[in-house]
Structure 1
Amino acid sequence: MDLERRLARPGAEIAFADTGPGGPAVVLTHGAGLDHTMFDDQVAALTGRGHRVVVWDMRGHGASTLEPAARFTAPDALDDLGALLDACGLERPVLVGHSLGGNLVQAFVRSRPDRAAGHVVLDSTWNAGPLSAAGRLALAAAAPALAMIPARSLPRQMARVSAVVPDVVARLEEVFARMPKRTFLDVWRATASLVEPDPGYRAPVPLVLVRGARDRTGNIATAMPRWARAEGVRETVVPDAGHVVTWDAPDATSRVLLDALELRHR
């Protein structure tokens, strides 16, 4: 989908597309360093089944801008998502988020449960889940560790840990290379800031959890099964896919989304 619409925001301009009224609404939020194109196959599948679909690029990603003096922060991204729903006239869509987008969707539902009919989290860690001392240390050390990687090498290294299909790895390297290293580090810090352990928290709206079977980024492979048990929901594991499950296994991911949404609206 071409992002033909623009939303003016403090310090940024958000590019988005909306297939228009009719059908249950779904909002797709991409992961860190990526853009709306990671959902191209899922948009086709969803619209083909009659869903209204909204896609967008977060500030500083893809076709969305970020003013030179502005920095990417989690509060700004959360406010952008709320403003996007308002601009589209969406009261309670289903929110789908991948990686950072999944962290963002979790935080949005946690603070504004009346604005979502449900949420689907793809390859994202559990914001409210318990963190060990080692886990907290690893989270705090990640941004400094990434800062040590030369800018010219960072896109390649990130692509190699994010996908398992060779063509997807190459595609990811091209996409990651578009983002300045400073912005990427800000995006990572924002992702980490969304992790707020709260053992007693349970999602107030329906939750669907999905990950690639070969996702080895962060603690997703261990945290998501525990998250599913805590919430009493099923975790769907997509075979032969890594972190960017929508590109490694597009058809399987589309089927999972369609099944989840159709079950929700029966």
Structure 2
Amino acid sequence: MSVAPSANADQHAALEARLAGYPAQQSSLASQRVLSYREVDRAGNDALPLVLLHGIGSGAASWVQQFDALGASRRVLAWDAPGYGASTPVAALSPAARDYAAVLKEWLDALGIERCVLVGHSLGAIVAGAFAAANPGRLAGLLLLSPAGGYGAAPAEVRDAKRAQRLAMLAELGPQGLAEKRSANMLSANASDEARAWVRWNMSRVIPHGYAQATHLLANADLASDLARYDGRVDVAVGGDDTITTPAACEKIAQAARTRLQVVPRAGHAGYIEAPAAYTAIIDTFCRASGGQRSQ
């Protein structure tokens, strides 16, 4: 379904106005890099912070509805991954998950966050899994939403083909073209026009170099292997209509994490955008079950 340019402009203006309550901030990290993020911290209690990691075609701004709903109960932070927003890219041209996980640790250290609940969506789940495996004591719980498993365990020809296909698409379309042609795949047929506009807006703002590095990360990663090394609390959820990380694929991730898969009916890949009430409830329930107090 096409949307008139004027309608698109109105939707984007409304979304940007809503996002203005959570302005982008920057942390200077020990490695001389910058990490941009958004947060809400109005709870004024001892609840553990909630940290949100976005997927390959998104950014910190995609979590605005979770800021709105969860900010009253705990501190909520969402990063722009390295190479996204104003965040410095990782050094490696073909990075591994541990490269992003190391930056995540630096960022949490810079903010004085010793322990948190970590949520990763899609590619963000890969980074979250690598961080959990390397820093289990820093997490009260790990929640994976529509996790991408990565192709690190696949044959080399499969990894190379997946990588080349996505890089060629980026070169051909650019961020704006990706947003126009690919954003609809992120949502189910039930998504509202507002949700579609929000996904397009976020995808149109990806930075080509950062997206290319994330493409290499996806090809190199093996989330199931990292989850096998993490003994902490893990939950996995996926939209029932997700055609990108399908329920069948996410079931394998849940098995690797030794947990059950939760399926959200009538939701697609970017379920937390198109079905915010359902996903916010999942996140809130997980946070409360993971323990509410800061480490001493």
Deviation at 1:214, TM superposition (A): 1.2
Q: Find the residue that maps to 2:244 and give its secondary structure.
A: coil
Q: Which residue of 2 aligns with 1:31?
A: 55
Q: Does residue 1:142 correspond to 2:141, yes or no?
A: no
Q: Does residue 1:159 correspond to 2:179, yes or no?
A: no
Deviation at 1:65, TM superposition (A): 4.3
Q: Find the residue that maps to 1:15 and give its secondary structure.
A: strand
For 2:145, which of 122, 138, 142 is the aligned residue? 122
Q: Does residue 1:195 correspond to 2:219, yes or no?
A: no
Q: Which residue of 1 aligns with 2:23?
A: 2
CA contact (8 A) 2:57 2:203 kept: yes
Instruction: Tell me: CA distance 1:38–1:59, structure 2 relative to 1, closer, same or farther (3 Å).
Output: same
Deviation at 1:86, TM superposition (A): 0.6
Measure, in 2, the Cα distance between the counterparts of 1:169 and 1:181.
21
Q: Which moved more, 1:152-161 or 1:5-14?
A: 5-14
Cα deviations across residues 84-108 of structure 1 (Å, max 9, x unaligned)?
Answer: 1111212221111111111100011
Gaps of 5+ in 1: none
Match for 1:217: what amino acid? Answer: I
CA contact (8 A) 1:107 1:194 kept: no
Measure, in 2, the Cα distance between the counterparts of 1:235 and 1:183.
30
Q: Does residue 1:169 correspond to 2:191, yes or no?
A: no
Match for 1:184: what amino acid? Answer: Y
Q: Does residue 1:225 correspond to 2:246, yes or no?
A: no
Q: Which residue of 1 aligns with 2:64?
A: 40
Q: Which residue of 1 aligns with 2:264?
A: 238
Cα deviations across residues 41-88 of structure 1 (Å, max 9, x unaligned)?
Answer: 11222222x212222211221243449x97573443211100111112
Q: Percent identity?
A: 25
Q: Find the residue that maps to 2:259 and give its secondary structure.
A: coil
RMSD between aligned residues: 2.9
Q: Which residue of 2 aligns with 1:260?
A: 286
Measure, in 2, the Cα distance between the counterparts of 1:32 and 1:200.
20
Match for 1:57: what amino acid? Answer: D
Instruction: Tell me: CA distance 1:249–1:12, structure 2 relative to 1, closer, same or farther (3 Å).
Output: same
Measure, in 1, the Cα distance between the counterparts of 2:85 and 2:152.
33
Measure, in 1, the Cα distance between the counterparts of 2:219 and 2:32.
21
Deviation at 1:2, TM superposition (A): 1.7
Q: How does 1:10-21 map to 2 (within 5 A)?
A: 10=31, 12-18=33-39, 19=41
Q: How many residues align?
A: 260
Gaps of 5+ in 2: 1-21
Instruction: Tell me: CA distance 1:148–1:231, structure 2 relative to 1, closer, same or farther (3 Å).
Output: closer
Measure, in 2, the Cα distance between the counterparts of 1:180 and 1:16.
15
Cα deviations across residues 235-254 of structure 1 (Å, max 9, x unaligned)?
Answer: 12112211111111111100
Q: Does residue 1:208 correspond to 2:231, yes or no?
A: no
Measure, in 2, the Cα distance between the counterparts of 1:46 and 1:82.
23
Measure, in 1, the Cα distance between the counterparts of 2:218 and 2:208.
15
Q: Which residue of 1 aligns with 2:17?
A: none
Match for 1:113: what amino acid? Answer: P
Deviation at 1:264, TM superposition (A): 2.3
Instruction: Tell me: CA distance 1:25–1:235, structure 2 relative to 1, closer, same or farther (3 Å).
Output: same
So what's the TM-score if we normalise by structure 1? Answer: 0.84
Deviation at 1:160, TM superposition (A): 2.1
Instruction: Tell me: CA distance 1:140–1:166, structure 2 relative to 1, closer, same or farther (3 Å).
Output: farther
Measure, in 2, the Cα distance between the counterparts of 1:98 and 1:260.
15
Match for 1:151: what amino acid? Answer: L
So what's the TM-score if we normalise by structure 2? Answer: 0.76
Measure, in 1, the Cα distance between the counterparts of 2:154 and 2:166.
21
Instruction: Tell me: CA distance 1:230–1:186, structure 2 relative to 1, closer, same or farther (3 Å).
Output: closer
Q: Does residue 1:111 correspond to 2:131, yes or no?
A: no
